[in-house]
Structure 1
């Protein structure tokens, strides 16, 4: 859904740029409705030149101009940024994509301002408008707030809404997931080279195979096991390869990988809260 006010970005890095590109292409807002605050002159110049948006060197003014603000800064500076701007925060909708910063800490930073907070865990494919984002709502968030946040992130992919206590699992699966997929693609390419294919040929075949398989799974809506069975003939090449995956405990490795990342996300969240309470 579109809205008539201004959309602000505190931080103009790659993820903020992806969101700007997405909302503009989706027609959610016009370029004249976007304001970006970033300390880097190079980033400000790039965003202003590429997307024709307004830019600021300091975030303080942005809060009074924009009722919807996406917080896209590094996690270690979130507390400092909110503290420096708090006097100018009044009834804003704050959408944070700062990794690992819990709602409790964000809400503490804007306490008494009437600001509502939504925390989002996106992933890097949002850069090519194919992201997966999970949204968690803080206190006082209403349906209209959530609709705005969903609109922004649906402009760069798909969204789900979850309770915050599931965001560590989201981080372990979709947040870190692209790295697992890239590692699999890399291994598939190397495997092609090992059996005699030229590396450029192996790269093309591996990446298209992964892309096509995902598109097929989403198009057909069938369980992955059914799609796997479609290419697994009795006594054939595919079952021989799958046997080696089973021998190597491929499924268990993937499950352990996601679980380890989930646990680490939870540990980092606790460290952030502990540091804030010192």
Structure 2
């Protein structure tokens, strides 16, 4: 088996779906485990991968293992599989707060580790994933991990000291954006727009604005200024956002997010 997933929830499903849709690895070469029989059956029915209730079986059979369980279960799962993990296998984690040092300590032996931080837009192959390896991982192995994660969106290799910033700026930020879209739609509904239409207008505006930042190479402030005509509607809206502390609220929320990540 080329790939194994311990935990087959939403993020595992997003990664498996991206891999299979791009043809990088066939379903027959992927095995997943989960304590939920419903979850295992669901993943098998959708993607045709092999499934098992036994985490050790995944650890024994896969060349690369994704740990896709919640952070609070990492200690238990690592204790369960560490004796069957060899120095030829590669373990990829997606949990905030679990540093490479913490992982190495819990495995208790040299293990090839890659710490990652994806986000939920991976479910529509528009994710942003940060990657940081330990010293046991070769450049060729890291390149292969990046190629896997690029099936679900953009991927950047970073130094581990930036991982908590990544949690705040991309890992958790879809929630901030969803709140903004919902609020924008609520305001449009208050102005008489049907709700389904309001969500479409708000979401497309956010999507298009993000695409402009990525594709024009212009500073976000410059793009903002392009929309703000003198004495116009947009600058009035921006004035109110500044008065209400919109920018500061985002910064403070992200600082709180990063601090929580550090303390997990």
Q: TM-score range by the shorter chain?
A: over 0.9
Question: Is contact 2:66–2:92 with CA below 8 Å preserved after alignment?
Answer: yes
Kindly report which structure 2 residues correspond to 1:1-278, keeping only aligned pairs within 5 A, or say none: 6-91=2-87, 92-112=89-109, 114-268=110-264
- Cα deviation code 1:135-169 (max 9, x no counterpart): 11123111122112211211101111112121111
Q: Distance in 2 between matches of 1:64 and 1:263?
A: 36
Question: Is contact 1:7–1:67 with CA below 8 Å preserved after alignment?
Answer: yes
Moved more, 67-76 or 189-198: 189-198
Question: TM-score w.r.t. structure 2 length?
Answer: 0.94
Q: Indicate the RMSD between aligned Cα atoms, in angstroms.
A: 1.5
Cα displacement (A) at 1:198: 2.9
Gaps of 5+ in 2: none
Cα displacement (A) at 1:8: 0.7
Gaps of 5+ in 1: 269-278
Counterpart of 2:128 in 1: which secondary structure? strand
Q: Distance in 1 between matches of 2:6 and 2:175?
A: 26
Q: Distance in 1 between matches of 2:179 and 2:95?
A: 25
Q: Distance in 2 between matches of 1:263 and 1:111?
A: 27
Q: Distance in 1 between matches of 2:43 and 2:237?
A: 47
Question: TM-score w.r.t. structure 1 length?
Answer: 0.90
Q: Distance in 2 between matches of 1:167 and 1:211?
A: 25
Counterpart of 2:135 in 1: which secondary structure? coil
Q: Distance in 2 between matches of 1:264 and 1:81?
A: 23
**Deviant stretches of 4+, over 3 Å:** none
